[in-house]
Amino acid sequence: MFNSLSDRLNAAFKNLRGRGKLSEADIDGTIREIRRALLDADVAVPVVREFTATVRERALGEELSGALNPAQLIVKIVHEELIKVLGGQTRNLQWAKNPPTVIMLAGLQGAGKTTLAGKLAYALKEQGHTPLLVAADLQRPNAVTQLQVVGERAGAAVFAPHPGNVGTSDDDAPLIAGSPEWEAAEHAEEQQRVAAEQAAAAARAAEAQALAQQQAAEKQKGLFGGLFGRKDQTAQPSAPAPLPVAPVVAPSSVTAPKREVADPVKVARDGLEFAKQKLHDVVIIDTAGRLGVDAELMQQAANIRSATNPNEVLFVIDAMIGQDAVATAKAFQDGVGFTGVVLSKLDGDARGGAALSVASVTGAPIMFASTGEKLTDFEVFHPDRMASRILDMGDIMTLIEQAEKAFDQAEAEKMAAKVTKGEDFTLSDFLVQMEQMKKMGSMKKMLGMLPGMGEMREALDNFDEREVDRIKAIIQSMTPYERDNPKMINGSRRARIAKGAGTTTTAVNQLLDRFAEAQKMMRAMARGGGMPGMGNLPGMGGKKSKGRAGATQPNVKSKAKSGNPAKRAQQEKEALARALGANNPSAAPGSAFGIPPQTGGSAFGF
């Protein structure tokens, strides 16, 4: 991500090399190039102004050191100021005194919160913790399902009492408590309930009125019948006619709403209680995001924070969104507040200005960085190491830490003992080493952590990661005997190996040739002679350079061996005799140094 910025900064520093003293104009020109590089990388303008002003002030005020030239001094100042911009020092998680430690993830939709929750859970599990993932994102389609899949891959438990939005249709999606849609539905239900109650009251009033009218008619009929004496003694009184009853509408408040209501605040609160019951020492809450900052998002996140009281609120930000990251971070800081920042998608090809802006603008430190899609592509953010990467100084410490995690200590000791004893480095050993290097991750990332690899970036970009798999396929197509004795692999064996690995015989020949060179290097190192081709370097062993103490060895041209077996055997016999000092076969016994016996005098020829 910082390739472009790194190239621009290194180009600015190259103009200063070879100068014994820097003028103010030289410093201003370099600062101008640094400013352009930072602006092209989408670093926030206020951060660029403050950074360049500080570097210029220090460059004009610093006195040259005897150990550093002017160009190195400028690089040193830029490196130190970059560390300050990136946060100054490494910030670790704050653990709760009484478990569980609650970590809340917040951010925009698509920033990578759900995937990051799984990566964080995996990293904590590797450290001996028992994390619990809480699915509080009930709005995004299939967010709960995604968290369950990620949690299963990370080996962490997932608390998901509500399925959330399963992504079938908008009508089937649950209503999120507190959302405007939920409030509109609640208002509509309230109106329906009031209307139903009013209809029921009107029906009861109509029924009472009809009953009163019927009673009045019966009374009037009895009164007129007694006055005229027309009462029929034999006729039975007829039953009163049923009164008309108005239909009564059942109030809607009694029945459940058509769409289910999901409350993420209750899910987060219940998840915390579940963690206490099941003795989980870390709770990671995955909250909902939005396509943009709005009041509903802020209110929901603020409600979850108030309900769970988290120890850490991590703001997950996409490192590829450029200067908009600053505005988003400010909005979240004002609306919700967060204690740390996590940079996701740091392996992208964007300009990466967010990493250089967020920590300086918000004051919150960058704590973690996500560098890929795998669960293991997750690392603690070290400002000093990131500054070294940007300036193409490498990141050896991170490389060593990854090697310590990936390499087996027993295998390393076994290999060291083998080299010390002078035993040959076999293809079986090479295969074991490749398997362990594969655990460290991408070869491009590992090579990119070496100092000075910026000058080889084109070759590094063209490196094919699948080449390692092709080499493994060739070695695995060999028999154990062939791996331990590669010199025994003749033409027919090479053809069989190539066919089994799905490659050509030329590829097998190239691998064996390179491996033979590696064997020579390992033998030279085992003898203490240093690495081949490095004899003139101090501490690397090898031949002495010309002009150093010691007599030079005469250039003795050896005689070529004969192709005839009989002649070659005679030549070897004569060479053995010369090594023993017998220059002629008639030498007397006892003349160990090849000095012929004297006929007289002392034994030394005096």
CATH number assigned to the domain comprising residue 37:
1.20.120.140
CA distance 430 to 418: 13
Verify that 163 and 188 share a domain, yes or no. no
Is 134 within a domain?
Answer: yes
Cα–Cα distance between 436 and 466 in angstroms, integer?
16
Residue 275 pairs in a beta bridge with: none
Please give the pLDDT value at position 29.
86
Provide the pLDDT for residue 432: 81
Structural domain boundaries, residue 72: 3-85
CATH number of the domain where residue 435 is located: 1.10.260.30
CB atoms within 10 A of CB 591: 13
Whether residue 428 is contained in a domain is answered as yes
Q: Tell me, letter by letter, the H, E, C secondary structure of 478-498.
A: CCHHHHHCHHHCCHHHHHHHH
Cα distance between residue 108 and residue 105, in whole Å: 10
Candidates 243, 245, 242, 244; CA nearest to 199 is 245
The C-alpha angle with vertex 196 and arms to 195 and 197, in degrees rounded to 5, equals: 90
| Domain shared by 475 and 354, yes or no | no
Report residue 297: phi and psi, to 5°: -60, -45
Phi, psi angle pair for 112, to nearest 5°: 100, 30
On whether residue 566 sits in a domain, the answer given is: no
Residue type at 431 in one-letter notation = L
At 39, list the tokens.
């602006």
| Three-state SS sequence of 316-356 | EEECCCCCHHHHHHHHHHHHCCCCEEEEECCCCCCCCCCCC
Note whether 248 and 267 are same-domain residues: no
Residues 6+ apart with CB under 8 A from 314: 103, 104, 105, 106, 338, 339, 340, 341, 342, 367, 368
**Coil, strand, or helix at residue 285?**
strand
134 and 278: one domain? yes
Exposed/middle/buried for 595, CB within 10 Å: 0-12, 13-18, 19+?
middle
Domain check: are 148 and 284 in the same one? Answer: yes
How far the first Cα of the chain sits from its last, in Å, is: 84
Q: Residue ranges of the alpha helices (H) in 343-456?
A: 358-362, 383-390, 396-406, 409-420, 427-439, 443-448
Based on the fold, state whether residues 159 and 295 are members of the same structural domain: yes
Please give the biggest Cα pair distance in the chain: 193
Place of tokens 């050191």: 65
Is residue 556 situated within a structural domain? Answer: no
- Helices 45-61 + 70-85 axis angle, to 10: 140
Is 180 a member of any domain? yes
User: What is the DSSP secondary-structure string of 129-158?
Assistant: --EEEEE---SSTTHHHHHHHHHHHHT-EE
Element (H, E) at 366: strand 366-370
175, β-bridge pairs: 261
Task: Output the CA torsion 22→23→26→29 (10° steps).
Answer: 140
Assigned domain for 454 exists: yes
In a domain, 580, yes or no: no
- In angstroms, how far is CA 106 from the centroid of its own chain? 18
511 in a structural domain: yes
Q: Are residues 296 and 421 in the same domain?
A: no
Give the pLDDT of residue 65.
52
Cα gap 203→184, rounded to integer Å: 29
Place of tokens 């390992």: 522
In terms of domains, do 183 and 158 share one?
A: no
Domain final residue, candidates 526, 541, 567 = 526
Instruction: Output phi, psi for 407, to 5 deg.
Output: -85, 140
Which domain-ending residue is among 393, 413, 435?
393
pLDDT tens per residue, range 99-151: 899 999 988 888 888 999 999 999 999 999 999 999 988 888 888 999 999 99
Q: What is the pLDDT of residues 74-96, one digit of tens each?
A: 888 888 888 888 888 888 898 99
Total structural domains within the chain: 4
Tokens of 419: 């080299």
> How many whole angstroms separate alpha carbon 412 and alpha carbon 28?
51
- 70 preceded by a cis bond (ω within 30 of 0): no
Q: Are 251 and 193 in contact (CB under 8 A)?
A: yes
User: Phi and psi at residue 598, in whole multiples of 5°?
Assistant: -90, 150
Q: For 150-188, give one letter per residue: b (16+ CB within 10 A) or e.
A: bbeebebbbbbebebbeeeeeeebbbbbebeebeebeee
CATH number at residue 310: 3.40.50.300
What does the block give as tokens for 534? Answer: 């490095």
Domain end, chosen from 490, 510, 526, is at 526
What does the block give as tokens for 66? 């005897």
- Which tokens in the block code for residue 189? 């239900």
Mean pLDDT by 10 residues, the chain (606 residues): 74 73 81 86 84 86 61 83 85 90 89 90 92 89 90 92 69 56 61 76 81 78 57 49 50 48 85 92 89 76 90 88 76 85 78 75 87 86 83 70 68 69 76 76 69 65 77 90 88 92 90 84 66 42 42 46 60 60 42 39 38
DSSP string, 226-277: HHHT---SSPPPPPPPPPP----PPPTTSSPPSSPEE-HHHHHHHHHHHHHH
In terms of C-beta density within 10 A (0-12 exposed, 13-18 middle, 19 or more buried), how is residue 406 classed?
A: middle
Same-domain status, 485 and 416: yes
Same domain, 52 and 22: yes
User: Which amino acid makes up residue 463?
Assistant: F
Under a CB-based contact definition with an 8 Å cutoff, are residues 298 and 336 in contact?
Answer: yes
What does the alpha-carbon distance between residue 54 and residue 77 come to, in Å, rounded to a whole number? 9
- Nearest by Cα to 370 from 110, 133, 116: 116
- Residue 446's Cβ-count burial label (10 Å; 0-12, 13-18, 19+) is middle
Q: Residues 160, 208: one domain?
A: no
Q: Are residues 336 and 478 in the same domain?
A: no
- How confident is the model at residue 167, as a pLDDT? 58
Question: What type of residue is 442?
Answer: S
d(CA 431, CA 475): 7
